[in-house]
Structure 1
């Protein structure tokens, strides 16, 4: 299938690159990556999403996107996602968000419900009001970002499955390319926000995928998230940690494809 990277100038004032992959007549699927990553974190997933026209942007402050000093509240991050759909001339799309990208996807579904045809949340928080233990460490970051620090930060999210070394090294480089202000302000924006399912209602059909050994997001929170979204499906991956996308992209692709395929 053909792939291209388009540079999108958004109405929110920034420019972001967006990978476009798949048949033009296939149903659109927007992928939202996690904090500290880039569109390349979907490199092992996208080839398996054969039935979709996939759009994978770098988000503000990350990857090759613009890295302005501000605009990192959760509402603004969701506004960027809506502006990406505008720039792609898409009225709506399926949306899959990984980790904090799923938090942005929830906010998109609450604030712009007409834009989200269905939602897959992959290791996505219910709330980040209780700031993660590593928040203070991130707050001490200065430029340039140290590569060893980024590599060591991966220990926050233990892996239970083998992940290709090239993929991990690519994620390290994602982190190195981010300036300190982006590391801090994206996390601050996520943690300061009212959780989307408290701010409004998600009406889109939703599938929640969660690793049973996730040390960041407890099961009770995932069950509460599912309970707040009418009709949501909740699937547990038994031997997987927080980084579901990293550990089992094949299963994520299979479950997402089946779920989206059942949506009218």
Structure 2
């Protein structure tokens, strides 16, 4: 049964589950009948739809769909091999079942990598692409990324809080304790650690993305936090080969600028979306 409540008189927020490839996938959806544009938000490794909770109140001009990727959040976590191809098939089925056509995709970290991979196999599906510190170009994990993975395998409040602080890399940023508790609870769900490790192995196997970025001709905006130590800002250079791409660095931000500076982030993406 879906949970629906009004955000304002012209918008409904829905949280529900849908069967995708035989598995239960959770999603959050904002319907705005007056809007002709749909935004899909893809979270990063180990995260959930709630990672976008600082941003979604600002997206009042658009229809918004935010899935928990299969294996993460509160979606089902089957004991299977998690491959990039499997994630692509699950997204393909999700878009089909949700009747999503020509969306604007915003992908953070691993979600950004999936947006790119999907675009390579479905070349005209997205209207525009927005990437936030996308994964797929690192040759080996950074120290901060390793600490984040450690916090997923050993999800105590202390470990998770420390990892989130390091990922923000901004002394003025205060980690939300509710976010920490939610992460701890999710990583203690059955098969959560398995899906994390299996996905990490899939990401390590997939080393061809850097060479294929030039094939993506869809209007793309790549945003990076200047102080990102999870996937360092130097990786933005790889994305300058995209023929229809723009790059932008947000100052005083770590790995998730849409969490640390949501209003500034929204102003940037709104200009790109509406241009």
Q: Does 1:166 align with 2:166?
A: no
User: Which residue of 225, 229, 243 maps to 1:215?
Assistant: 229
Q: Is 2:243 the counterpart of 1:230?
A: yes
Structure 2 residue 196 is matched with structure 1 residue 186: no
Residues 150-205 of structure 1 deviation map (CA, whole Å, 9 limit, x = unaligned) = 33433541431424443444344444446220121122212221343424621211
Measured in 2, the distance between the counterparts of 1:167 and 1:140 equals 13
The question of whether the paired residues in 2 share the 8 Å contact of 1:98 and 1:124 is answered with yes
Tell me, yes or no, if the aligned pair for 2:27 and 2:68 is still in contact at 8 Å. Answer: yes
- C-alpha spacing 1:257/1:173, structure 2 compared with 1 (3 Å): farther
> Which residue pairs with 1:246 in the alignment?
259
1:100-139 counterparts in 2 under 5 A? Answer: 100-133=110-143, 135=146, 138=149
Corresponding residue SS for 1:77: helix
Structure 1: unaligned runs, 5 residues or longer:
none
| 8 Å Cα contact 1:150/1:175 also seen in 2 | no
Partners in 2 of 1:113 and 1:139 — Cα distance?
36
For residues 112 and 91 of structure 2, the distance between their equivalents in structure 1, rounded to whole angstroms, comes to 12
Question: 2:45, 2:111 within 8 Å by CA — same for their partners in 1?
Answer: yes
The one of 64, 76, 84 equivalent to 1:54 is 64
Instruction: Give deviations 1:60-114, integer Å, cap 9, x for gaps.
Output: 1111101012242123222222221111112321100112111111111112222
- The question of whether the paired residues in 2 share the 8 Å contact of 1:146 and 1:176 is answered with no
Question: Structure 2 length normalisation: TM-score?
Answer: 0.84
The 1:128/1:192 distance shift into structure 2, 3 A limit, reads farther
The separation in 2 between residues aligned to 1:18 and 1:172, in whole angstroms, is: 20
- Give the Cα–Cα distance (whole angstroms) in 1 for the partners of residues 221 and 146 of structure 2: 28
Q: Does 1:16 align with 2:25?
A: yes
User: How many residue pairs get matched?
Assistant: 259
Distance 2:102 2:138 in 1: 27
TM (norm. structure 1) is 0.87
Change (3 A) 1:90 1:37: same
Query: What is the alpha-carbon distance in structure 2 between the residues aligned to residue 215 and residue 141 of structure 1?
Result: 18
Higher relative contact order (CA 8 A, sep 6+): 1
Unaligned runs of 5+ in 2: 1-10
2:87 is aligned with 1:77: yes
Q: Report what 1:44 is aligned to.
A: 54
Is the partner of 1:95 in helix, strand or coil?
A: strand
